[in-house]
C-alpha cells in the first residue's frame, strides 16, 4: 500500500497564503490580531499550570507575581485618573484627617500633647494605611468574580493586589512624612533606619486582617457593616489622636494587646523621640500575624472551588 505523502504544516500554510489574494495592510492587521490571540492563549496556559500545581499558593507566588504587579500599576493609574487632583490625594487625605483631629482634640477638647501636629501625623498615617487596606480588601474576592469565571486563579491573589497597591501609596506618604518631621522639628535620628522594620511589621498585620475579611465576607455581605464598625472601634482604642498617658496605668497592658496601639507607640518612639523600637513587641506582632496569614491562606485554598459559586 502506498502511503499518501503529507506536506509539513508550514508548507501547507504557505500554499494557502499564496492562494489568497489579500492586501498587505489586511494581512498586517490579521497578523497583529493573531499575535494578540497567541499572547492571551499563553496567559491561559500559565493560569492552567497553576491549577495543575499541588504546591501551596504562597509557595507558587513567583508564578503570579507579575500579574499582581501589573494589576497594581493599572489600579493606581485608574484610581488617580478618576480625580481632578490625581495622586495629590495620597497626601491630602492624611492631612485632612489630621486637621479634623487637631481641631477637635487639640483646640476644642484641649487634649493635645506637645508637638501635637507631629504626634497626630505619626498616628494618622499608619492608621489610615491599615484602615483603608482592610476596608478595600473586604470586597476583593467578590469584585474579582469576572476573572474567576474565566480562569482559575488562587483567591489569595485578589486581596494581595489591594495590599500591594496601598503599600505603594503608603511608601510615598511615609517619605513625605520624614521630610516634614525634619523641617518641623529639625531632628534627624539614626533610629529612623528601623522604619522599614516597622512598616514591614504593619504589612504583616494588615495582611492577616485583610485576608480574613476577604475570605469571610463573600459568604455574608452584610458583615461589611460589622467590619466597618469594628475598624472604627479599633481606631478609638489605638491611640491615634491621644497619648497613653490619658489611660489609667492598670489598663496599659490591656491597651497594648491591640496590635495597632502597640505599633503606633513604636512609630512615635522612633520618629518623635529618636529611640529604637521595642524589638520584642515587633517580633511578637510579626510572628502572630504571619501565623494568621498562613491560616487564612490554607482556608482560602480549601474554599477555592466554592468562591466562584458564592459570588455569582
Per residue in 81-93, pLDDT tens? 887 777 788 888 8
How is the chain split among helix, strand and coil, in percent rounded to 5? 75, 0, 25
* pLDDT value of position 243: 87
* pLDDT value of position 31: 43
Helix axes 195-216, 157-185, angle to 10 degrees: 150
* pLDDT value of position 60: 57
How far apart, in whole angstroms, are the C-alpha atoms of residue 132 and residue 128? 6
Share of the chain above pLDDT 70, in %: 78
Question: Measuring CA to CA, which residue among 41, 44, 275, 8 is closest to residue 147?
Answer: 44
Low-confidence ranges of the chain (pLDDT < 50): 1-32, 34-36, 39-44, 46, 50-51, 53-57
- Name the phi and psi angles at 10, rounded to 5: -65, -40
> In this structure, what C-alpha cell is assigned to residue 92?
491630602
* pLDDT value of position 7: 40
* pLDDT value of position 53: 47
* pLDDT value of position 25: 44
- pTM of structure: 0.77
* pLDDT value of position 86: 75
* pLDDT value of position 135: 95
| Cα 267 versus chain centre, distance | 20
* pLDDT value of position 12: 35
* pLDDT value of position 62: 63
- Name the phi and psi angles at 232, rounded to 5: -65, -45
Amino acid at each position: 500500500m502506498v502511503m499518501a505523502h503529507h506536506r509539513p504544516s508550514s508548507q501547507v500554510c504557505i500554499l494557502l497564503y499564496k492562494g489568497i489574494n489579500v492586501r498587505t495592510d489586511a494581512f498586517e492587521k490579521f497578523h497583529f490580531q493573531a499575535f494578540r490571540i497567541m499572547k492571551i492563549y499563553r496567559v491561559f496556559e500559565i493560569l492552567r499550570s497553576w491549577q495543575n500545581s499541588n504546591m501551596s499558593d504562597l509557595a507558587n507566588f513567583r508564578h503570579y507575581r507579575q500579574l499582581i504587579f501589573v494589576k497594581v500599576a493599572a489600579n493606581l493609574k485608574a484610581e488617580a485618573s478618576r480625580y481632578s487632583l490625581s495622586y495629590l490625594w495620597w497626601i491630602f487625605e492624611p492631612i485632612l484627617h489630621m486637621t479634623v483631629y487637631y481641631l477637635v482634640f487639640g483646640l476644642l477638647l484641649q487634649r493635645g500633647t506637645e508637638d501635637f501636629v507631629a504626634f497626630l501625623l505619626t498616628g494618622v498615617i499608619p492608621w489610615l494605611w491599615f484602615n483603608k487596606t482592610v476596608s478595600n480588601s473586604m470586597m476583593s474576592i467578590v469584585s474579582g468574580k469576572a476573572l474567576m469565571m474565566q480562569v482559575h486563579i488562587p483567591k489569595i491573589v485578589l486581596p494581595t493586589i489591594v495590599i500591594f497597591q496601598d503599600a505603594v501609596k503608603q511608601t510615598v506618604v511615609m517619605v513625605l512624612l520624614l521630610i516634614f518631621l525634619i523641617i518641623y522639628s529639625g531632628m534627624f535620628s539614626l533610629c529612623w533606619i528601623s522604619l522599614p522594620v516597622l512598616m514591614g511589621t504593619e504589612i504583616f498585620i494588615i495582611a492577616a486582617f485583610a485576608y480574613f475579611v476577604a475570605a469571610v465576607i463573600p459568604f455574608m455581605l452584610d458583615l461589611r457593616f460589622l467590619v466597618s464598625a469594628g475598624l472604627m472601634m479599633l481606631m478609638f482604642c489605638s491611640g491615634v489622636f491621644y497619648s497613653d498617658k490619658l489611660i489609667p496605668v492598670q489598663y496599659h497592658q490591656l491597651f497594648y494587646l491591640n496590635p495597632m496601639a502597640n505599633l503606633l507607640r513604636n512609630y512615635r518612639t522612633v520618629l518623635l523621640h529618636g529611640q529604637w523600637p521595642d524589638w520584642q513587641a515587633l517580633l511578637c506582632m510579626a510572628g502572630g500575624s504571619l501565623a494568621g496569614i498562613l491560616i487564612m491562606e490554607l482556608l482560602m485554598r480549601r474554599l477555592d472551588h466554592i468562591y466562584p459559586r458564592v459570588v455569582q
